[in-house]
Amino acid sequence: MIDLTLLQYFLSVISGFIVGLTLGLIGGGGSILAVPLLLYFVGLIYDAKTASSLNFVQHLVIGTTAMAVGLNAYINSYMHFRKKNVKIKKGVVFTIPGVAGSFLGAYVGHIVNGTSLLFLFGILMIIVAYSMLRQKKSDNAIPTEGCRINFPMLILAGLGVGFLSGFFGIGGGFLIVPALMFAGGLGITNAVGTSLMAVGTFGVVSGLTYLHYGEVNIMITILYLSGGVFGGYIGTRFSTSMPKKKLRIIYAVVIILVAIYLIYKNMGGIGHFF
């Protein structure tokens, strides 16, 4: 295990706050920063002294953030449930196959070389940023509440998103929301609320899988969660008064810059996946 300093514990709270604030302001994509923040801002990457300990730290970061994101999503899901934004039946149909995918993804992610995993994570970040930049354009093409439900597509989407969530240790909301809108016929508000069921479940399942291998730091998870809940509350309060289009563009640029740095630092993972 890694012995953290008091400063690192404090920075973990700040990191969780940044993730939660972003989720509250923009409504998605915040968890994608959880991994690089824990690696480079909290500084866990610099605690690794050998190649084996580096691999352990990389997996520890992914497992820990997966657990924190999952628990945070459950809290937000309850808030949406009280506002009747959660469609239980469609959420369950999507989530159950996703659990299997999440288990499989977390297992595969665990055996993949940590450097390679972070290299692929950097590529995923760029894809997420690109999808955020195009989000406004795609809104008009998304069906509204009441469209026909495509259950086979809903199940397959849940399985695929669950795998990616487990593999990378992310919430996957940026994939789950459009999947629920297209395959489940949900409007944007209900899709966001319902997606948190899956985000929470996938994150906790992935986290438990990594925890089984001793690759989750419970204290950091709690600190991330506490900062995330507070940041989400602040972000939600200010979300209505700030221009989301500009926020989305700025955030997408930040993600791309962080992704380029992550890819650069983990170029050695190319060709050494196991």
| Domain residue ranges of the chain, discontinuous segments joined by + | 6-267
Q: Give Cβ neighbours of residue 272 (< 8 Å, ≥ 6 apart).
A: 113, 115, 116
* 196 within 8 A of 80, measured Cβ to Cβ: yes
Give the pLDDT of residue 12: 95
d(CA 66, CA 234): 22
Residue in the block written with tokens 């809108």: 181
The DSSP string of 99-152 is HHHHHHHHHHHHHS-HHHHHHHHHHHHHHHHHHHHTHHHHGGGS--TTPPP-HH
Closest C-alpha among 19, 260, 252 to residue 122: 260
pLDDT at 227: 92
Q: Is the pTM of this model over 0.75?
A: yes
pLDDT (tens digit per residue) in 142-195: 444 555 667 888 899 889 888 988 888 777 777 787 788 877 888 777 887 888
CA–CA gap between residue 250 and residue 236 (Å, rounded): 18
Q: Taking the mean position of all CA atoms in its chain, how far away is CA 133?
A: 18
Largest interatomic CA distance in the chain? 55
The CA-to-CA distance between both ends of the chain, in Å, stands at 22
Task: Provide the pLDDT for residue 6.
Answer: 93
Q: What is the pLDDT of residue 138?
A: 46
**What pLDDT is recorded for position 139?**
46
Residues of the chain with pLDDT under 70: 1, 26-30, 51, 135-149, 239-242, 244, 269-274
**What is the model's pLDDT at position 141?**
45
